[in-house]
Amino acid sequence: MHKDLERILVSKQELEKRIAELARDINNDYRGKEPIFLGVLKGSVIFLSDLVRSVDLDCTMDFIGLSSYGNASATSGSVRITKDIEKDVEQRDIIIVEDILDSGYTMSYLVDYLKSKAPSSIRICVLLDKPARRKTEVHADYFGFEVPDDFVVGYGLDYAERYRNLPYIGVLKPEIYNDKKEVDVN
């Protein structure tokens, strides 16, 4: 285990098993359709890669960059687009793929933004759901794991751009993120 972690929350094996289950559910729901998997940068990249390799559908991918944290460890509630989507999504089925759903501010903003582009449907697929932090009425259609209100890293999730490459989800020791004054958690 990495020295900065309190514990491993979700193992590599648990991740692999659950992603296969999510892919099976998506395959069933989108049979005969060609969805766009829209990854929210940067945290979703590893999850999105494994998920699309597990689905058995004709599909495409695109990415959007959003920021609601700036240089803090908690969201400001103000969201801005840092990289826009490139594909035309009008009359297309969109599956938003995100690493974690916590306050819901960013996801609510994204869903409203995408609705303005007139897609056929929008569904949300998140690796981790943290309902204890929810501030808005947004819910994932597909989620991997419900997690407690701990600072989690690994498998794409970061703290100050570190720990994304861990092959599991771990809980970061509080002294690691409490000692830093300025961080980028996107």
Q: How far apart are CA 137 and CA 118, in angstroms?
A: 21
Per-residue pLDDT for the chain (186 aa), expressed as one digit of tens each?
Answer: 689 999 999 999 999 999 999 999 999 999 999 999 999 999 999 999 999 999 999 999 999 999 875 544 555 568 889 999 999 999 999 999 999 999 999 999 999 999 999 999 999 999 999 999 999 999 999 999 999 999 999 999 999 999 999 999 999 999 998 865 444 443
Fold annotation for 12-147:
Rossmann fold (3.40.50)
Q: Where are the domains of the chain?
A: 12-147
Going along 35-165, which residue ranges are E strands? 36-41, 60-67, 80-83, 93-101, 121-129, 142-146, 152-153
Sheet with 152-153, side-by-side order of all strands = 5-10, 169-172, 152-153
Compute CA distances 42 → 16, 98, 145, 186, whole Å: 20, 9, 19, 7
Contact criterion met (CB below 8 Å) for 152 and 95: no
102 among known catalytic residues: yes
Catalytic pick from 50, 99, 102, 129?
102
